[in-house]
C-alpha cells in the first residue's frame, strides 16, 4: 500500500505513523504531508526518515489511501482533491462527519456500511468513539432510550499547544503559549470548542449527532457536558444510560467483557477501575464502575476511559484502512 498521512507532524499525525508501524499495516511507500512551513522536515517511520512533502506532490504520487488529521478547513480543501485522484481518504476532522453523503465509521460497529465508492470516510469524534464502542452490545440487547454523558477530557485532545501550556504551568513558566483562555493546571474548564445558540458546545453536540449516526438510531436521546481537565493519557466519561428493557448488572458486565475492543476493569474490592493513567498508549476502551442507577428503572451507570489519540483518533482511522484492505475496497 502507498499511504499518505496528512498532518503528519501533529500530535495525532505522529500517532498515526506510530500505529501504522505497530499494527504492521503494509506500507510500501509513505508520503508524510504537512503545512508549507514543514515541507522538507523529516518524520520517522519504522526506523527510517521520510521528508515531508506538499499535498500536491502526495496527490501526484497516487497513494492508495490518505489518512488525514490536519483540521477541518484543510480537510474541506484537500480531501476532495485526493478523492478526485482516486485516493481513498480517511479523515479525522469534523469536516465530513455529519455530511449525509459520507460514512461515519467505528469498525467494531458499522464498517459494513463501507463500499468501494466511498472515497471520503469520516473518523468520529474521540469522545463519541469510546462511548459507542462500550454501548454497542448493550444497545443491541436492551435498546438505548437516553444517554447522559459528562466527559473529563485530556489536554492532548486540544493538541501540542495545550500540552505545552499544562507543562509550562506545572514548571512555573508564566509567559508560554496559551491554548486555553484560562489556566488548565489545578483547574477544570467546562468548555470544549465554541458555544452554540442552544447553550451547548460544538463538542457536546458532536456527541449527540454522531452517536445517532454511528448507531443508526435517530431515536436515541443524548445530552452531554464536556470538560477539559489537566491530564494526559486519555478521556474519561461518566455515562448514565436508560434502556427500553430491563437488564441484570451481571449480564451487562458479561456483554461488555465480550464486546470487541472493550476491557472491563471493575473490581471494587481491589479498587480497580479505568483511569487515563492505565489507558495511555493502549487501543482498548476500558469500562468500570458498572452499577444500576437506583433512582429510575432500566438505567445503568458506567465509567469509560480510552486513549483519545489512539482509539479516539489514530487507531480507529488505521482500523478503517485495515477493514478496507481486508474487504478488497482499496
Catalytic residue among 16, 126, 166, 262: 126
Range list of H helices, 171-248: 202-215
Q: Considering 97, 103, 235, 310, which one is annotated as catalytic?
A: 235
Lookup: cell for 177: 503559549
Long-range CB pairs of 245-249, under 8 A, 24+ apart, other chains included: 245/141, 245/142, 245/143, 245/298, 246/142, 246/297, 246/298, 247/138, 247/141, 247/142, 247/298, 247/300, 249/290, 249/291, 249/292, 249/300
**For this structure, is 136 an active site residue?**
no
Q: Show the cell assigned to 128.
A: 463519541
Decide: helix, strand or coil at residue 150. strand
Cα separations in angstroms, 259 against 43, 140, 313: 36, 11, 19
Is 139 a known active-site residue?
no
Separation of alpha carbons 326 and 330, rounded Å: 9
Q: How far is CA 324 from CA 71, 176, 212, 306, in A?
A: 23, 43, 23, 24
Q: In what order do the strands lie in the sheet with 299-306?
A: 221-228, 144-153, 235-243, 299-306, 285-292, 262-264
Radius of gyration over every alpha carbon of the chain, rounded to an integer in angstroms: 20
- Rounded to whole angstroms, the Cα distance separating 285 from 273 reads 12
Q: Which residues are catalytic?
A: 126, 235
Amino acid at each position: 500500500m502507498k499511504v499518505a498521512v496528512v498532518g503528519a507532524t501533529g500530535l495525532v499525525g505522529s500517532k498515526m505513523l506510530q500505529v501504522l508501524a505497530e499494527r504492521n499495516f503494509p506500507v510500501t511507500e509513505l508520503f508524510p504531508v504537512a503545512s508549507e512551513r514543514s515541507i522538507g522536515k523529516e518524520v520517522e517511520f519504522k526506523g527510517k526518515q521520510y521528508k515531508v512533502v506538499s499535498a500536491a506532490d502526495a496527490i501526484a504520487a497516487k497513494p492508495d489511501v490518505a489518512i488525514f488529521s490536519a483540521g477541518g478547513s484543510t480537510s474541506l480543501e484537500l480531501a476532495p482533491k485526493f478523492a478526485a485522484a482516486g485516493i481513498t481518504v480517511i479523515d479525522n476532522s469534523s469536516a465530513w462527519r455529519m455530511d449525509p453523503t459520507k460514512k461515519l465509521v467505528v469498525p467494531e460497529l458499522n464498517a459494513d456500511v463501507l463500499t468501494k465508492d466511498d472515497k471520503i470516510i469520516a473518523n468520529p469524534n474521540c469522545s463519541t468513539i469510546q462511548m459507542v464502542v462500550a454501548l454497542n452490545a448493550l444497545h443491541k440487547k436492551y435498546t438505548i432510550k437516553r444517554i447522559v454523558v459528562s466527559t473529563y477530557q485530556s489536554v492532548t485532545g486540544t493538541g501540542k499547544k495545550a500540552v505545552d501550556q499544562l507543562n509550562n504551568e506545572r514548571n512555573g513558566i508564566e509567559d508560554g503559549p496559551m491554548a486555553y483562555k484560562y489556566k488548565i493546571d489545578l483547574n477544570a474548564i467546562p468548555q470544549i470548542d465554541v458555544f452554540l445558540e442552544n447553550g451547548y458546545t460544538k463538542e457536546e453536540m458532536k456527541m449527540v449527532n454522531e452517536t445517532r449516526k454511528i448507531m443508526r438510531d435517530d431515536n436515541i436521546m443524548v445530552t452531554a457536558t464536556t470538560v477539559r481537565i489537566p491530564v494526559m493519557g486519555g478521556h474519561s466519561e461518566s455515562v448514565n444510560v436508560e434502556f427500553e428493557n430491563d437488564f441484570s448488572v451481571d449480564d451487562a458486565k458479561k456483554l461488555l467483557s465480550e464486546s470487541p475492543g472493550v476491557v472491563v476493569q471493575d473490581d471494587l474490592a481491589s479498587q480497580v477501575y479505568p483511569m487515563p493513567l492505565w489507558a495511555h498508549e493502549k487501543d482498548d476502551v476500558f469500562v468500570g464502575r458498572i452499577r444500576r442507577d437506583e433512582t429510575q428503572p432500566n438505567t445503568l451507570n458506567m465509567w469509560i476511559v480510552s486513549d483519545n489519540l489512539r482509539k479516539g483518533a489514530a487507531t480507529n482511522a488505521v482500523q478503517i484502512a485495515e477493514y478496507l484492505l481486508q474487504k478488497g475496497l482499496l
